[in-house]
Structure 1
Amino acid sequence: MKLYLDPGHGGSDPGAQGNGLREKDIALDIALKIRSILRNNYENVEIRMSRTSDISKSLAQRTNEANSWGADYYLSIHCNAYNGSAEGYEDFIHSSLSDFSASAKYQDIMHAEIINVNQLRNRGQKKANFHVLREATMPSLLTENGFIDNGHDVALMKQSSWRQKVAQGHVKGLARAFNLKRKSEEPKTIYKVIAGSFKTKENAEERESYLRSKGIESFIYSITISGELWYRVQAGAFSSRENAEIRLVEVKNTGVHDAYIAAEETSSNQTDDAGYSILGQTFLSPEHMNQYVKQINPNAIELGYYYLEFGEYYGIRGDIAFAQAMHETDFLRFTGTVKPNQNNFCGLGTTGPDNPGASFDTPSDGVLAHIQHLFAYASTKPLPAKYPLIDPRFDLVNRGSATTWVALNGKWAVPGTTYGQSILNLYERNINATMQNLEKILREIKS
């Protein structure tokens, strides 16, 4: 399914204005949230947006782009204004269409799903001669998500959680209308090559350095076994046991005879809380994290080392925290409210265009604040003292209230009913990309 997603207005055209808000900002934020939910949770959806930032674009440019691309559906996101007294939600198809047209059938579905969650007065399903509805050659819908000059509606618009809820309503409608398939939940086994376990980090670092000198990439993670802390050196992870055994032979050929294979089961949506605790070992190396994001955003700064280092210190899954940062920042492209110079990789304190949230002096500080915030949710223990507390919202968290990633639903993101699952989907994609790269190298070695 090819969706052309059109946040109304932009650039020199602010759209409707009221109560310190601009339509162009609200529409863009909702549209970006729609894109994120679709990308992370559904298969076989291609999305093209008329804009992903505050730029000017004519109506003709938008419909011409959608038509030439061959979109299956045109969805235009707006909000309304009148005289302060009007309120509520309404949506439109073109005035020339019958009630039995494809656009009308899709409108019925979209309207029902959106009005079910948006807490707005239902103004009904309507028809109009708007340009984007008239000139788009595919079925199309324009949604008006509240009145920006109405006190009741704008109180909702100012809440990031409400905009997320509205985006989810749109997505549920799209999923029903186009029979979108959610991403697979089938379990998978990952085979890790463990090149030594040590009681001291110094010995683990010595082993890691030795392997690197032999041309074998590895990294260190910590694990607690029977109440004791151990440092493991991992030299690869594979979806095929055969490939893991090839790497194991390579490691042993360097003289490391205590290497072995550890099999772990995972799943793409990872809804089993017991297996996906926020606290735990980091699976991916900094190099693998950085490589993954640069496949999508070649200009991304490298944060993998910080997520491993701070994650290891606080006992947080640094690689999944990294996936959360990718989810929040659109792979460090910062197409939402938070801007790159804030170094706020997890959206701390962000509530919308009028409040972009916290800022940190360096990328390292931004990651540290992110990990500390996760520690607040996942543990009731005192914060370890090696680093200063720089998370400005640490004391606002109900300590220990979310020990798993899925438990962040409704807490980190409100209502965010699929927030944790979206993060875990990104993490799974990172794992799969890493394994594919390693297996490609092994195939080249074998040939």
Structure 2
Amino acid sequence: MMKLYLDPGHGGSDSGAVGNALKEKDIVLDIAFKIRTILTNNYQNVEVRMSRTSDTSKSLSQRTNEANSWGADYFLSIHCNSFNGSAKGYEDFIHSSLSDTSTTAKYQDIIHTEVIRVNQLQDRGQKKANFHVLRETAMPALLTENGFIDNSQDAALMRDSSWRQKVAQGHVNGIAKAFNLQRKTTDDSEIVYKIIVGSFKSRENAEKRVDYLRGKGIESFIDIDTVSGETRYRIQAGAFSNRDNAEKRIEEVKKAGIEDAFIVQETNSNDEENSGYAILGPTFISPKHMNQFVKQINTDALELGNYYFSFGEYYGIRGDIAFAQAMHETDFLRFTGVVKAEQNNFCGLGATGPDNPGASFDTPSEGVLAHLQHLFAYASTKPLPDKYPLVDPRFNLVNRGSANTWVALNGKWAVPGDNYGQGILSIYERNIKATMQNLEKVLQDIKS
């Protein structure tokens, strides 16, 4: 059992450094909580004790005495810096009496490397000092200074919860490497290492990053996330089951000139009901590639990709898989069944046979909107967001939240429909394959 004593600096009457309407004690407590959560949720044989878990005062002696009495294996103190408003960046400290070949110094080397990989801060280096928490601890100890709170650029990052999560993940990655911690796994799950190469508030900036990476021969896509109610566009450049392969991709990305790349470790379940094919989630395929895909089969097809992308993004639904469902229902917009093209009913809402072809909608946009609203009814129990009017005539007939995945629509959306969801996913996977082939051709053209 590895025992980590985690020390968010300051607290209570001691606010620590202040600047840009921020207090050090608040920032470091949040980072420490995130470190504890990641470690205890994802790693075996690790125990974390925090010097404080609220805004309370605690002396330096109380902190070191508690860690020593507990028999901690490592002492990690989390801080932010301040100076004159112009200084910025990250640095960390071990005690000044220690040699560069000491165990503590080796731990510092590892953790420093991992934190700098993700924190988007200037690297001010690895340092030594005679701080109390480094001097009076009986175990290896490190104090990290995570940016300058009185610097406007560093402070802007500190305000962002997703940045604090990155910083926490960097610390955890370093600790896991230093102490050879093993991740928690179960028989029905596997670890996935996702390569994240930027997070943007602007979709335009995210698309520029994707275009740049693809120009360097590195495939990537935009993953939409919500942080504190704010939409962020996160760029992913691969996912690997092997950590070494993920590290190699990180090096490729850095050689391409992107320094803010980092690895996120996730556990993916193989259980069908909890697989990656959930109804709720980000849309990966662009409107252009959705339209290209259907036109390869039906050259006269309407271009619906933008509707599925934008409404999917708004409702938090996989718009690209909903598009595949529409292709499944309409025979790639050829409308060879009971529903006819003029109905703009792309998902067969209410259609039960020749005598009842189902609902009709005034425009293609309205038909797609009804489709996404109906999926939202199945996948979520939350109230329908109110930016758009409710146009799905069967929304209130759905047992809310009764289908979280596409396969779970079997026997609900289509009856009996034993393989209904599987059919949708098969079309989606064909779209993915076609998209990748198109991108590879573009990359070959760029290289030539």
Q: TM-score normalised to the size of structure 2?
A: 0.48
Whichever of the two has the greater Rg, that structure is 2
Higher relative CO (CA 8 A, sep ≥ 6), structure 1 or 2? 1
Q: TM-score normalised to the size of structure 1?
A: 0.48
